[in-house]
Each structure stands twice: as C-alpha cells, then as structure tokens.
A and B are shown apart, each in its own frame.
Chain A
Amino acid sequence: MIDRLLEQARRHADGGADALWRRVERTSVAFEWGRLKSAGVTEETGVNLRVRHGGRVGVAGTTAADASLADLVARALASAALGEAVDLPFPPRAPLPPVPTYFDRAGEASLDHLIQMGRGLLDRLAREGCRVNVALERETAETRVANSAGAAGSYRSTVIAVSADVWRIAGDDVLVLGDAFDGADLPSDAALHAIAASINTRLDRALTVVAPPEGALPVVCTPAGLAALLLPVTQALSGKAVLQGISPLAGKVGQGGVFDAAFSLSDDATCVGRPASRPIDDECVPSRVTRLVERGVVQRFIYDLETAARAKAQSTGHGQRGIFGKPVPGYTNVVLGPTPDGVGARHAVPLQLGGGLLANIRDGLLVDELIGVGQGNVIGGAFSHPVALAYRVDRGEITGRVKDAAVAGNVYELWKRVGGFGNDARWTGSRYAPSVLLEGVSVARR
C-alpha cells in the first residue's frame, strides 16, 4: 500500500516523500485485585505520509481504512504549503543490520498461556493483607517504511509485557510496589520468578517504617530509582534540545569534567530481544549503536532526519513516528555503563538490594521510586522529589522504609562524581542500568 502511496506522492511532490505503514494486533489480559477480570484484543492500522514540495515539508496521517490515497497526499501537500523550508534529504537504500524482532513463541502464545503466566505470578505474590494487580499483553506488529529515494525496510515484531503490582494498605499507610517484564520474546520462568522475587524482597524490607535521615547524604538509586537522574541527561542529549538552545550539554562534546570518568551512556537499537529494537528507524535510516557519553566525555547527540538537517549533522537513526504528526528524535534502548552482553532480556535480579553499594554507607538512603519525575524544568538538571519508595541505610544495612522525605539536587553536579556502580544491572522498561551511589544528595524530612 505504501508503494502506491509513494508513487502518487512522487507525482505531486517535487522533493520526494517517505511513509510509514504499521499494523498492530494486541491481546491483553488483566487480573484486577487478585482475580481475572477481562481479556481484550486491539487491531489497529495506520499510515503516515511526509512530502517535500517546493522545499517545504508536510505530513498527514490516517487510521481510516477507507481513506483515499489522493486525499492523504492532498492533506500532506496542504501541510507542506504552510511549512518552512528545510533541506531534508531522504536517505538512499543502505544495508540493514540483522536485528531479530519477531519471536515465534511470543507471536503464537495463546490467551490461555497469558492467563497461566498471570496466575503463576499471582500465586507467587499472594500475601495476607495485600491485593495484587497483574496485566499481561502480547503485541504483534508489522511495520513498513519506504521513501522515494529507494530506501525501504519492513519487519514483523513481537512484544510481551507483564506487570504486577502489590498494594498493601494498613490504616492510612499505602504501599504500592511493582515490577515488570518487557521483552520481544516470552519471559522464561526464571524471569517471571525474578519479578515476584524483586517485589517480595522490596516489600519485606518495607514493612517496618523508620524515620528518614536528613542532610547532604550518600544516596543509592536502584535501576528504577535512577529515572530522575537520567531524564535530564537524555533530554539534553537530544539534538532537538541543542537546536532549541536549551541543552546544558550543547557545546560540551569532547570536553572532560562534565560527567564522572566512569559514566558512559549509549543508545542501542540493535539489542536482541528488546521491544524497542529494530533494523531500521521510522525514516529509513539503518539502526546502530550510538555512543552518547564515553568515560565521562559527551560524544554526540541523537538526531532524526529533520533535526539533523537543521543542525547540519547526520541522522543517528533515531527517527520515531506515529500515525499522526511528524517524526521526532526518540531513544530506543538506553544503556548506562557497558553494553549488556548476550541476550538483552536480563530482568529483575534481586541479588541484593542496592547492588552491593550499601556496605560503606554509615547513614544514607536507598531510593527505588520518586514522585513527580518529569515535572517542571527537567532539562536544567535541578530536581526535588518526595520519595515514593525509599529505605534508610544505617551502617551498611537497610533498617526500613522511610516516608515523608524528599530528595533534591542538581543532576549535573551529582553525575560529576559517582560513588560507585552496582553489580545489579537490569532492564527497567527501555533502560539498562545498575544501581548507582551518589554523594551529597539533599535529603529533607517533614
């Protein structure tokens, strides 16, 4: 279908066109408060077209199956007529890396199989005084991208998402703890067991509530707890933020002293078994590993075609597009530290909370989840968040959960000196990271 669409577009747009077609089917199962409640399916097909005409770029999208190609082309041209000039080169055909994205076992998993996995998790999480929600989803998708310069790619993909959360309400004390598996293949029994073990371990340690510490203290962030510390950095490493003049990392490429020498960050669109992996991005650029920060030194920013054209740079293969709107630069699999070896589906490894970083802490905090991450002026690096789930560390031991505490600081200051990386690296959504020890984080209590 998109070949015919591009053929039509090419006849009207003098600067070429590209398009993305995607069909997604999803099957989901939900256990609500401990019991199986619903099962559902989704079927969605859509197409997104971009044209370049008279030096200007326009986009249009539709999910209407009966939409005429001519109408879609006309809407894209109308959008281009208003657009600003951008010298957008559609990339030529190039070899694609082999990235396995479709796993038969996942693609063929039955509804009953999903239900069984859910029941297994529920059994492992059952506990007096607690209620458990479990959701499972299997997605199969077909994606095709092509442009008028002859580049094209198509792939089938699978995604399995399993999540569980445990609610414990005692009086006015509400404790919610969860974990999830996201992968392109079915989780192994060990991976499912790891979700339960991760939740149970953290829950056991949270039953005792202790007073929070106060002051500038050592804080260990678990892989999940790192979100607030990495979000400003990934925002600042987007070529779009650089173009807008709001990235604190603009102009810092190649400079030392910005991050601790042990800090390395990359984006890997080719990791095996990850839902975000793909052989080609949504603008026909082949996938690759992008080293963003190497041993403390900023290497490059991520770009899609348009931001690259404006920045006089090359696309790094980070074009992401939905059915509506134009492509934007977006990350795939963000990896803190060395790239994971072998199969990328390493999950929840509850060796020991804190990844071995707690031993030398006299008085500090282990942070697993913060409230309000992503609010406010994120890219500037200053943050202040109440803890959703954090533990007090006293002479190397976790003594209990703290409530009514907030942590604050500036991520650029904190990343300058890292106290240590843990031995517990794992995937949390599309991020692979270990626990991290940071010194001198402000901890306030009420």
Chain B
Amino acid sequence: MIDRLTAALGRSRADYTEIRVERTWSTAVTFRGRRLESATASEDQGGFVRVLNRAAGWGVASFTSLDRLDAMVARAHELSRAVRVDPPIRLADVAPHRAEAMLDLDGDVRGVSLAEKKRLLEAYNGAMLAVSDRIVDTLATYRDEVSEYWFVNSDGTILHELRPEVTLSGTAVARRDGTIEKGLESVGLRRGWNSVQDGLAGFRTAAERAVQLLDAPMVKGGTYPVILDPELAGVFIHEAFGHLSEADFVYENPQARAMMTLGRRFGKPVLHVGDNGAAPGLRGTLPFDDEGTPTQDTPLITAGVLVGRLHSRETAATMDERPTGNARAVSFRHAPIVRMTNTYIGNGRGTFEDLIRDVKLGVYACSAFGGQTLLENFSFTAAYGQMIRDGHVAELIKDVVLAGNLFQTLDRIDHIAGDFRWNQMGGGCGKGGQYPLAVTEGAPHVRIEEALVGGDVPA
C-alpha cells in the first residue's frame, strides 16, 4: 500500500499533496429491551487526498474506490487551481516522520466471534433488566473496530498504523405512570476485547440510577454554588472552553483573536487546563494527527491565564505559532480540522469534602447526558445530581441543566480538588459535520461559586 501511495504522490503535479487511506473492520451488537436489535460486521474503506498550490486554495477529494486514487489526485489538483486565494495559504513546517505504529490490540476483536460478543452484551443488558421491574426499556450497545491507516505527504512523511477501539454503553429507562427517567453509563477505550470483560457493574449502576430518579424531585431552578463531578467537569472544559481554544476559530478573525489573546486572564490561579494527545492509553491518543504532526501535551490555561491554543499546520503558520498535532479527521470522508484530543483540568488540592464543607445550599451535578456550546454560552445536562445542604450531600435531584456564560463561569471556579481522573466514556465530539471523534476528558471535582441551574422555574 505504501508503495502505491508514494507512487501516486510522485505523479501529483501539486505543490503539496497528502494521501490518507483507511480500512476499518467493525462489529456492532445492540440490545433493546430483551431483544437483540442487531449484530453486524462491516467493512469500510476509502481514501482522502488533499493538495495545495501557490496562490490557490485547498483541493480535496474523498472516495471509496481505491482504483480511483490517481484520478482523485488529479481532480484535487484541478479543484485547488480553481480556487484563487490571496494572501496565500501557508503551512507550518513539520519535520518528516516515518513510523510504523501498531498499537496494542489488547485481544484482537477480529479474532472473537460475533456470537461471543452477543453473549457478553446479553449478560450486561440482562443485568440492567434484572435491577427492577420498573426498567421498561434498555439500550445496550457494543461496538469495536480495528482500523488500518496509511498516511503519506509530499514533505516525506510516511505513516502506517493499526488502531483498535472498543466502546460499551448502557441506557436504562425506568417508568412509573407518566414519569420516565434514564440512566446512562458508557466506556470507550483505544483497546480491545480484554478491556471490556468487567463492564457489569457499570450497566447495573445505570439501571439503578434510572429507578432512583423516578422518586427524585426536579431541581428548583436558580443560582447555586455548583460542584461538578470529574465527569461533568471534563465535559464542561471540553465544551465550554476547549472549542474556543481551537485556533481555526480565531486565526482569521481579528475580533475573535482579540477575545482570545494569550496572556488574558480566564480564571483564578487554581485553574490549569490542557490538551494532551500523547497521554498513554486514552481514546483520544494517537502518535500523530491526520497531517502527520506528532501529538503533544499543550497547556492552554496556566494558573488562570491563557497560554496556548490548538493548531493545525495552517492555523499555526497564520498565527506564527507552532503546530500542536491537533488536526484530526473523523474518517477518510473528511479533511482534517482543528480538534481536541484528551482535554483536562489539572489537579488541585484536597478532597471532595473540602469543596462542600462551607456550602450551605448547593448542587452537586454529576455525569453528563450531553452538552452544547455556542461560543460564550453553554448548556450541559447532568445525568443526575444531589443537593448539598449544610456541607453535606443530600437528596437526589433530576433535570439538572447548567447554563451560563463561559467567561463568567470559568472565573467563578474557586476550588479544585486533588482527585483527578480521566473519564473513559463512549460517545464522541462533533464539529463541522464530523462526528463522532474519539476524545477523552479528565478533571478532578471542581467548584463553581455560583452558576445558573435550569429546572423547575418558578413563574
């Protein structure tokens, strides 16, 4: 394959050419309620070409038939030349790399029969259903893949990788009369079959929580001191801040650039934020990004001050900064764009109890059903929550939606515990029509002095 790709590269007439080919074997098993909804094995393959010419724009082509490789390189060149660009697009220099990276498959999922995968998930799904007869529906999914990946570019980089991925997720729906509640647990790992053998407890927890939420009152809307658990804190930093630190948002937008000036204070000195695509063993981890740039740990906020941002080769060149290995594509169907990898809030000090000790009335918001940011504004739905009363965790509450303004909220983070952990969840990040991208988030418990919690709003 490498020979075929370098030969095609050799025939390209463009100033810069990159070619990426992926071949992915995947299986998916889904249970809904007591029923197996589907068990399938799929094969997806295709290629992506991107070229750049002087005073011209990007020409890109994606295709499923590799026989079309040469034709697609030629077509991308034509497209590039049809796009006149001034000032020219520049790419930051990245030293050429040659690498074979066969990641640890940790029990190659391709060697496990579909029947065995079904049995495993059936047991997990059964554990949810067994929790209570109030569980009226479940959704249990198992998905695995092994992806073989080739990348070459005209700077001389040649990469060949084998990447495993496995995700498990369980959603339990509990119902009593008109009340319907959900519990959700998931795990996503860049590993294989061996890593999903102890998932039972997580599935059971999802079902137990759904049942407990039936009796939980809706949180009373208002402003509270809010403590985020590490999972929600991770989602928060990814959604509310991470996307703003992606340089494609600022690099050609002077007003955005002004808003995100390095050196600007974003939070109190306790706040440290970064993105680490090289952290060992995580789902967002890869040796190189999809432009062939090595991944790295990039500090974004240090002691409350903005110190860095995430780059592709193009955004780095425009801003005269260094590429950070954050140009990623969700598959051969897409061009690489600036994305996060493993985004984290750095560790603080003390325990969870230290965070709530002086809180008279507050909300402990846990886990996430989802989150969305519209730049400065964000909204997160916690999977569940608990009230904090007089320094202690009290009753379970539901429908905890956190909404706010990014700048105000970051600045109101006043206490960060020392119990950092990575959240190895399933799902993924979406941007520019590319979803789901494998990312990880990590954080300790985090306290926000005051935040708006939606819910039952008194009229």
- Decide: B79 and A65 in contact? CB cutoff 8 A: no
Q: With a CB–CB cut-off of 8 A, which chain A residues contact B197? A: none
- Which of B37, B79, B136, B221 is A246 in contact with, Cβ under 8 Å? B136
Q: Is A382 engaged at the interface, CB distance under 8 Å to the other chain?
A: yes
Is B182 in contact with chain A by the CB < 8 A criterion? yes
Establish whether residues A39 and B223, one from each chain, have CB atoms under 8 Å apart when the complex forms: no
Contact of A40 among B35, B60, B253, B452 (CB under 8 A): B60
Alpha-carbon separation in the docked complex, A382 to B369 (Å): 14
A38 and B59 in contact (CB under 8 A), knowing A376-B401, A444-B452? yes
A176-B66 CB under 8 A given contacts A37-B57, A82-B36: no
B222 to chain A: closest CB distance in Å?
8
- Minimum distance in angstroms from B432 CB to a CB of chain A: 9
Pick the interface stretch among B95-103, B162-170, B356-364, B372-380: B372-380
Residues of B within 8 Å of A67, CB to CB, are 43
Least Cβ–Cβ distance between A214 and chain B, in angstroms: 9
Q: Are B44 and A63 in contact (CB under 8 A)?
A: yes
The answer to whether B376 and A172 touch across the interface, beta carbons within 8 angstroms, is: yes
Q: Mark A416-433, 1 if CB is under 8 A from B, else 0.
A: 000000000000000000
Q: Provided the pairs A38-B59, A167-B253, A245-B175 are in contact, do residues A372 and B40 lie with their beta carbons within 8 angstroms?
A: no
Partner of A65, one of B26, B33, B67, B75: B67
Please state if B82 and A372 are interface contacts (CB–CB under 8 Å). no
Q: Is the CB of A375 within 8 A of B44?
A: no
- A41 near B61 with CB under 8 A, answer yes
Cβ–Cβ < 8 Å partners of B60 in chain A: 38-41
Q: Which of B36, B84, B259, B379 contacts A385 (CB 8 A)?
A: B379
A38–B253 touching, CB < 8 Å: no
Instruction: Pick from B188-196, B277-285, B403-411 the stretch touching chain A.
Output: B403-411
Contact B252 A32 (CB under 8 A): yes
A45 within 8 A of B: yes
Question: Closest approach, in angstroms, between the C-beta of B186 and any C-beta of chain A?
Answer: 15
Judge whether A371 and B75 touch: CB under 8 Å.
no
Interface residues of B in 257-316 (CB under 8 A from A): 258-259
Question: Contacting chain B: which of A12-20, A54-62, A150-158, A333-341?
Answer: A54-62
In the complex, B83 has a CB within 8 A of chain A? yes
For residue B199, CB closer than 8 A to chain A, the reply is no
Any B CB within 8 A of the CB of A170: yes
Assess whether B351 is interfacial by the CB under 8 Å rule: no
B118 lies within 8 A of chain A by Cβ: yes
Q: What CA separation (Å) do A261 and B93 show in the bound complex?
A: 65
Interface string of A37-49 (1 = CB under 8 A from B): 1111111111000
Q: Is the CB of B64 within 8 A of A65?
A: yes
When the two chains form their complex, are residues B401 and A60 in contact, meaning their CB atoms are under 8 A apart? Answer: no
B180 near A379 (CB under 8 angstroms)?
A: yes
Q: How far is the CB of B241 from chain A (nearest CB, A)?
A: 13
B46 within 8 Å of A (CB atoms): yes
Question: Which residues does chain B contribute within 8 Å of A62, judged by CB atoms?
Answer: 42-44
A215–B458 CA distance with the chains assembled, in angstroms: 7
In the assembly, what is the distance between CA of A374 and CA of B457, in Å? 20
B368-390 interface bits toward A, Cβ cutoff 8 Å, 1 = contact, 0 = none:
01111111111111000000000
Q: Taking the complex as formed, is A248 at the interface, i.e. its CB lies under 8 A from any CB of chain B?
A: yes
Please, which residues of chain A bring their CB within 8 A of the CB of B68? 43
Report yes or no: A82 in contact with B39, Cβ–Cβ below 8 A. Answer: yes
Does A129 interact with chain B (Cβ within 8 Å)?
yes
Interface centre among B42, B89, B456, by most A CB within 10 Å?
A: B42
Bound together, the chains give a CA A81 to CA B118 distance in angstroms of 11
Q: CB distance A37 to B83 under 8 Å? A: yes
Interface assignment of A216: CB less than 8 Å from any CB of chain B? yes
Least CB separation from A324: chain B residue: B42
Q: Is the CB of A245 within 8 A of B40?
A: no
Known contacts A169-B259, A244-B32, A324-B40; is A375 also within 8 Å of B371 by CB?
yes
Give the chain A neighbours of B454 by CB distance below 8 A: 384-386, 406, 408, 444
B455 at interface (Cβ–Cβ under 8 A)?
A: yes
One digit per residue, 1 when the CB lies within 8 angstroms of any chain B CB and 0 when it does not, for chain A 307-331 equals: 0000000000000000111100000
**Nearest-Cβ distance from residue A378 to partner chain B, whole angstroms:** 10
* A36 to B38 CA separation, bound complex (whole angstroms): 44
In whole angstroms, what is the CA distance A408 to B220 when docked? 12
Q: Which 4 A-B pairs have the closest CB atoms?
A: A372-B379, A375-B370, A216-B459, A384-B454
5 additional contacts (CB under 8 A) given A79-B40, A82-B114: A169-B256, A169-B259, A384-B221, A386-B377, A408-B221
Interfacial residues, chain B to chain A (CB-CB below 8 A): 26, 28, 32-33, 35-46, 57-68, 72, 75-76, 79-80, 82-85, 89, 114-115, 118, 136-137, 173, 175, 178-182, 218, 221, 223, 252-253, 255-256, 258-259, 333, 335, 369-381, 399, 401, 403-405, 407, 452, 454-457, 459
Can you name 7 A-B residue pairings with CB atoms under 8 Å? A38-B58, A41-B62, A43-B61, A131-B255, A245-B137, A246-B175, A404-B405
